[in-house]
Structure 1
Amino acid sequence: MAVDVSVIFVNYNTVSLLIDAIDTVLNKTLDIKYEIIVVDNNSNDNSKSILWHKYGQKVNYIDLSENIGFGRANNEGMKKAAGRNVFLLNPDTLLNNNAIKILSNYLDANKQVGVVGASLYNEDGSPQASYSFFYPSLSYEFSNLLHLSFLFNTETFNDSVFPKEVKRVVGAAMMIKKEVIEKVGMFDPRFFMYAEEDEWCYRITKAGYKLVNLPESSITHLDGKSFLFSEQRKLRQLEGIRTFYKVTYSPLYCEFLKCIEYLTIVNRLFIFRLLKHTEKVNYWKFMYAHRKWK
């Protein structure tokens, strides 16, 4: 039996969230053939046993011997995926409608579209950033240093009912054609967590495919609930964006980025110390302590 969509979850000690996410896939997904693949990053929350007793063969479980990060774990799932389209879905998500069929139908009907993303909502129903019109770059970092980042298009949510072409979609809920994966490759294994979807989207657009946000597809994203330790999260984000720069741009370009980043840190520390804004000072002290690129 042909599979239309392979739904891939990466789990790391988030079994309770994952169960809610899988339940919404099973309850909301209609009139389409799909499979569910869970890639477990060596969790210690008894995920495998819990999922087996609840779902049995409805879930294909890949048990990894170590935590290899988000992108590489998704790669393991993609290697096993039988679907014509592959849907990468975070465990801290809940489908609000028949989102999988909506996304898959759009991909099938639009040859030049390689990736499609859903519109994401917070737990209270308010809009959440779902896409971006630019990639991280020297110009953005420089505008941030000069407090001019507002000059960039900051729209991140599609208020209309129409599909919108974008530069990147948020990796919490992105669907990609299997043929695109075969052409451009999977996630870059040099990433552990964060910004890997930025680099992937960048590579996909370079290959000539379009990326689209489809507002009809609605998903709640409980952002951050699967990664609660804030300092560790900030460090992962910092490592991710620096990895994006290193694998995307030239060494000379990265040297300029390092200089701009350092000046921004010093600038913000000076300003927030003057303002006696303790929380902001602590954040930029953290950034200063981790100013050196690996």
Structure 2
Amino acid sequence: MKLSIIILNYNAAAFLELCIYSVLRATKNIDAEIIVADNNSTDSSLQMLHFVFKDQVKVIAHEENYGFSKGNNLAVAQAKGEYLCILNPDTIVGEEVFKECLSFTQAQPKLGFLGVQLIDGTGKYLPESKRHIPTPKVARQKMLGNDRNYYYNEVGQNDRGKVDVLVGAFMFCKKEVYEDCGGFDERYFMYGEDIDLSYTAILKGYENYYLGDQKVIHFKGESTIKDKVYLERFYGAMGLFYDKYFKQSVLEKNAIDLMIKGMVALKSTPSIEYEVKEFDNLYLVTEDKHLDLPIKMERVKHSEVWDCTFEDATFLWDTKTLTIKEIIDFMTHTKELKHRFLSPKRDFYIGSDSSNSRGEIKYM
């Protein structure tokens, strides 16, 4: 088997459903398997997987929430593919992304991990798609608001090139490279494990690359609500990374620990639930002239959206009749517009208006 796509899920049923639909399209002509490892979700994830994707997806139901690192490692152990892609459930991939990753990887004998350009639910580029190694000095500057040396700006947003650190929402590699690097360090429960694995690959003589011309939607806000628990895990992971790779004096360690505690206290905000919004200017973009949905909206063809002027518009994209690539192209070439993604079954849509806000789900 050529490729195994590993999706670790926790309570993201609706987002996971669209993610799998997009992966099935993108692997249509590839000898591939999809493995969903569920970290003991309490929502309808397992039921959805059984009824919607039975026999199309291999499901591993964990008996507890093992966290990101261990959850993925357990799934990789059962993967049969020569290549792996670690993929978040709150992503939607374009039809060509795996083909392009396979082609690029096969031409790079020293390749460690490969990443792509991640965009949020509005089409905005997510700069964490490519980062420098966060040395203590770089991390301190980042904490203080100076991220100039944190992101890997030497490679352009839409370019291809060698980088240091990739993001765990999409990490592509040879399975033997993943195993040689020891997989994700299971001391990280969530956050920081992608930095650690990227850096481990470099230390072992591999090279990490970024494909800026390949775009993947990442509804980042769905899994990054910045409450106290998130911040403790996020900054705690940074502390673990420094302890593992950078020798520090007692004074330096105490200073970093104090700064981490300060950042948690300063940035903690209560976790809030999202509200499903009603839109005044909602446009259904579809090629299905018979599609009738139980919500008020105007209808427009994909070929027409490029020629019209829309103000304060929200586009509801019919993922059954449009390609993800078509949708992403429009999202990344327009501004100040909102986007929602209709499931192929046409029974719900998802979306997110910010990389810092919770994703939205509306059932119909």
Fold agreement, TM-score > 0.5? yes
The equivalent residue for 1:149 is 146
- The CA deviation string for residues 158-203 of structure 1, in whole angstroms up to 9 with x for no partner, is 5465421000111111101112123221111111000001111111
Calculate the TM-score normalised by the size of structure 2: 0.67
Offset of residue 99 of structure 1: 0.8
SS at match of 2:223: coil
Aligned match for 1:224, one of 221, 224, 235: 221
RMSD: 2.7
- CA change 1:62–1:156 in 2 (3 A) is farther
Paired AA for residue 242 in structure 2: Y
Q: How far apart are the structure 2 equivalents of 1:151 and 1:129?
A: 11
d(CA) in 2 for partners of 1:59, 1:249: 41
- What SS does structure 2 have at the residue aligned with 1:71? helix
Provide, for residues 22-56 of structure 1, a one-character-per-residue CA deviation record: whole Å limited to 9, x for no partner. Answer: 01111233421111001111111132222011111
Equivalent residues of 1:184, 1:207 under 8 A apart: yes
- The residue number in structure 2 matching 1:187 is 184
Q: Match of 1:16?
A: 14
Q: Deviations over 1:133-161 (max 9, x none)?
A: 4222222245457x583552644595465
Residues 245, 254 of structure 1: 8 Å contact kept: no
* Cα separation, partners in 2 of 1:11 and 1:263, compared to 1, 3 Å: closer
Aligned to 1:244: 241
- Please tell me whether the aligned partners of residues 119 and 217 of structure 1 are also in contact (alpha carbons under 8 angstroms): yes
Select the residue among 258, 265, 268 that pairs with 1:262.
Answer: 258
SS of residue paired to 1:235: helix
Where is the helix percentage greater, Structure 1 or Structure 2?
A: 1
TM-score under structure 1 length normalisation: 0.82
Match of 1:213 in 2: 210
How many percent identity over aligned positions?
27
Change over 3 Å in CA distance of 1:166–1:21 after alignment to 2: same
Residue 199 in 1 paired to residue 214 in 2?
no
Q: Distance in 1 between matches of 2:43 and 2:219?
A: 20
| Count of aligned pairs between the two proteins | 270
Q: Amino acid of the residue matched to residue 55 of structure 1?
A: F
Stretches of structure 1 that go unaligned for 5 or more consecutive residues are 269-279, 287-294
Q: Which amino acid aligns with 1:177?
A: K
Q: Post-superposition shift, 1:218?
A: 1.3
Question: What secondary structure, in the 3-state scheme, does the structure 1 residue paired with 2:85 have?
Answer: strand
What are the residue-to-residue correspondences of 1:1-294 with 2, within 5 Å?
3-143=1-141, 149-150=146-147, 152=149, 154-155=151-152, 159=156, 161-228=158-225, 230-250=227-247, 252-253=248-249, 255-260=251-256, 262=258, 282-283=266-267
